[in-house]
Structure 1
Amino acid sequence: MANSTTDVLLGHNGRYAGGEAIHKPGHPGRQPIRPARRVAVLACMDARLDVEDLLGLQTGEAHIIRNAGGVVTEDALRSLIISHHLLDTQEFILIHHTRCGMLAFTDDLLKAGLEGDANSARVLAQATKRAFVSCGECAASPSAFHAFRGQPEPLDAPPDATNRERLAWDVRRGMSAILNHAWIPTEGPDAITVRGFVYDVDTGALQEVSYPGPIGPAG
């Protein structure tokens, strides 16, 4: 979409990666409840991402939703549906990033470690470089941790073709979950747009993920 808000924010990101600060940290005073740029961003909770800074957003311009991995979970969908239908956002942006912790485990491995499996705990400790303390108990919630598909790697591994592909897989899965949800319109006068990106924590730059495309092996 020409001259979209997402394109404007990508321009801001280029300036940010070049060392320019666009986000203004001061309190802006009273503002309306609806995001001024009519955009919602779903991003990972990683401490190295400051979404306002990397997109050049000001307070009041966007909804920012964060969780481990920037995954399109049921709760993220809940927020996006409310964001669009009640608060008039028209563009959704998904942001994953390099060196993500979601690349370092599988759901089954983490569950087994938490439940008390010694071998799983040892593998998790090796991956994270910290002592993994098992809880020794089973639990029904969360039902999934949404680890990224593919072979796990050490925590904070440098970017390469393999882990970038794994990140792109999950971005596309998230985009698909949004675009195929019955309550998120993609056609007509109330349609939203969705674009996904991988943020490089070492350079500060965003790289767009093409859609549709591969989403990785099941399981």
Structure 2
Amino acid sequence: MTQDLTSSRPRPPEGFADLIAANRRYSISFPHGFDGIAHAGVLILTCMDSRLEPLEMFGLFLGEAKILRTAGGRLTDAGLAAMVMGVHKLRVNRILIVPHTSCAAASKTEEEMRATIEEIAGVEVGDFRFGVDPDQLGRLREDVDAVRAHPLIGPFAEVGGFLYNVETGQVEQIC
């Protein structure tokens, strides 16, 4: 069960100065010279949840994979476009779609999520779609099937659907 953490939200620091300072420290030891190719041939579509470290989950390193993140690790039009470009321009030949356990995007229906967001924000969301669905594994199978069936992806890359367990760190192949 996913809890609503919005009521205890920490106040963000003013502006972005802390992040810019952290970037300056990072850039000192940054390994320059990468070419943008997915050297392990991998593209991972996963959730935006900060508990997930996509490269580490699969024993990969910087420069070996392309990473796409959406709420719930759901396939979107932009994600599909990125997959096509990855396959044909960046040497991607394996695509992993990886939602996870205890995901907020699998905890409510669209209607319930709309009501929750409206209550928190105090603003009507109208017909905005969040792409949430409590049938997480059913949606994973649909997303995998859609990518496998895409004429610019399916014939050129292996596609698999996985579920990441946030309690154990283990991945299970679902489809």
Mapping for residues 66-145 of structure 1, pairs under 5 Å: 66-114=69-117, 121=119, 132-135=120-123, 137-139=124-126, 142=128, 144-145=129-130
Identical pairs, percent? 28
Distance 2:137 2:113 in 1: 22
TM-score, scaled to structure 1: 0.62
Contact kept in structure 2, 1:94 and 1:196, CA below 8 Å: yes
Equivalent position SS for 1:69: helix
Equivalent position SS for 1:66: strand
Q: Which runs of 5+ in 2 are unaligned?
A: 1-28
Shift of 1:139: 4.3
- With over 3 angstroms needed to count, the CA separation of the structure-2 counterparts of 1:28 and 1:180, relative to structure 1, is same
Greater displacement, 65-74 / 166-175? 166-175
In structure 2, which of residues 153, 162, 167 is the aligned counterpart of residue 184 of structure 1?
Answer: 153
Equivalent position SS for 1:182: coil
Match for residue 63 of structure 1?
66
What amino acid sits opposite 1:102 in the alignment?
A: A
Distance 2:125 2:174 in 1: 37
Equivalent position SS for 2:122: coil
Match for residue 160 of structure 1?
none
Match for residue 40 of structure 1?
43
Distance 1:77 1:39 in 2: 15
Equivalent position SS for 1:184: coil
Match for residue 132 of structure 2?
147
Match for residue 10 of structure 2?
none
Shift of 1:133: 3.2
Equivalent position SS for 1:42: strand
> Over the residues paired in the alignment, what is the CA RMSD in angstroms?
1.9
Distance 1:201 1:175 in 2: 21
Shift of 1:61: 0.4
What amino acid sits opposite 2:142 in the alignment?
A: R
- With over 3 angstroms needed to count, the CA separation of the structure-2 counterparts of 1:56 and 1:27, relative to structure 1, is farther
Distance 2:105 2:33 in 1: 38
TM-score, scaled to structure 2: 0.76
Distance 1:138 1:54 in 2: 35
Contact kept in structure 1, 2:72 and 2:106, CA below 8 Å: no
Q: Check if 1:31 corresponds to 2:34.
A: yes
Q: Check if 1:196 corresponds to 2:161.
A: yes
Distance 1:80 1:183 in 2: 9
What amino acid sits opposite 1:178 in the alignment?
A: V
